[in-house]
Amino acid sequence: MAGGRQRYNPRVRQGGSRAMGLRPGGVIAGVLRVPGSKSLAQRALVCASLAEGATEIAGLPDGDDAGAALTLVEAAGARVERLSPGAVRVTGRPPGPDRGWSAKAPVSAGESGTLARLATAALALCGEGGPWHELRGEGTLLRRRSPPLFDALAGVGVGIEWLSEAGGWPVRLRAIRRPDQVDLRNPVSSQEVSALLVALAAHPGETVLFVHGEIPSRPYVDLTRNVLEHFRITVGRKNVAWGEAFAVIGPLRPWPHPLVIEPDASAAAVALAAACLSGGEVVVPCLFATSPQGDVRILEHLARFGCRAWSDREGLHAADPPTRGADLDLSGEPDLAPVLAAVAARAAIGAGGSSRLTGLGTLAGKESDRIGVLARGLSAVGLEAVGGADWLEIRPGRTGRGSAEVRLEPARDHRMAFAFALLGLAVEGVWVADPGCVAKSWPGFWRDLEGLGARVVRQD
């Protein structure tokens, strides 16, 4: 990218701390501007890189996942110009005879499952024909798989060579011309649907994506359709006996005005929960309950715990500690489970309430086995936490806490680090190991909360 990209590294900027934590007693209050949505940013960057002409994108977050997307689309042949911090102009490389994405050297999706699936479909269906394209991953992504997506691509003739026994990434792909239809069977992630919709939308003419079975975390597909609208694509949808059919008519064409990435609703959920757990009040500006991001339902879920949470013309607000447990179905927004587990812990300690979170079937395939990691962390502080394949229950323990101090391992997962940091607002002595893993989505997390009054402690 022109001018290079400077990455925020919490290990450097925060003294290389081995562990960090939040402590009870600091009231978190005020206006907090969270990073832009990495989910929107990655979709927008891939769409722009496959579109005809140039797209200006503003509000990009400075996290590792967005940085990986910028690096990948440039390596695949798109032209990326840096206009200002958080703003770029991307000139696309749309598919067609003797053109399309061209990964002459291996490209990497970093640790992002969303980007890995988007890039897999783009290389397979929008890459230059003939040569093999190699897509790599890093860290936790190397353990993740996506059999329905690869099966769908193989079913239309894409060449696939796995470079590990896991059957995921790294992988080599040989592209084909646009198929008339693609069949995706029993998706394990909404990202598989999104990846195919974006890749098919890059081609002129109509293609139909048939999805056999239920789509997990459906709001993320709606989020993808929202991004596609910024590139003049309307996705038709209808129910059929065995699933759904999506009709996509391309190509991708940007509007002349910039595409502005709105604040990240997942990060906003962390900030709003921090306000409730600390007895403060936080507003996240420029994000509203009408957002296409499913995680804005954090307002509804916090209210179920007895917190105050609302949206107005300023943005999203939350205040007041939880007063009761709650039974929540998070099938549409499972990434909220870590945040709400911390809220449930506070409800168990402060109000004696039990909580049950369901609809978590996709969490085992994320950066970590999130149900298991959460259950172990909650148990370590003295709560009763039991998890199953798609659920987690949090109940009061005998003391509501464990030993004087406890060090919790987030398993290199940014959302686990956020959850354990929030847990420290309810339980004295919680340390979060590997605090720098928050750089995946919110590099300034610790600094930003400290600026609003949080008691941040460091263990060097």
In angstroms, the CA 251 to CA 233 distance is 8
316's torsion region: left (phi>0), alpha (psi -120 to 50) or beta?
beta
- Within 8 A by CB and 6+ apart from 193, the residues are 184, 187, 209, 211, 215, 221, 224, 246
- Within 8 A by CB and 6+ apart from 241, the residues are none
Known catalytic residues are 335
How big is the chain, counted in residues?
460
Looking at this protein, which amino acid is placed at residue 426?
A: A
In angstroms, the CA 47 to CA 254 distance is 9
Beta strands in 85-131 (DSSP E): 87-91, 107-108
- Within 8 A by CB and 6+ apart from 243, the residues are 210, 211, 212, 213, 214
Q: In what order do the strands lie in the sheet with 281-285?
A: 30-31, 281-285, 315-319, 308-312
| Alpha helices, H only, 136-278 | 147-155, 190-201, 219-229, 265-278
In angstroms, the CA 12 to CA 20 distance is 14
Q: Are strands 87-91 and 391-395 parallel, antiparallel or unpaired?
A: unpaired
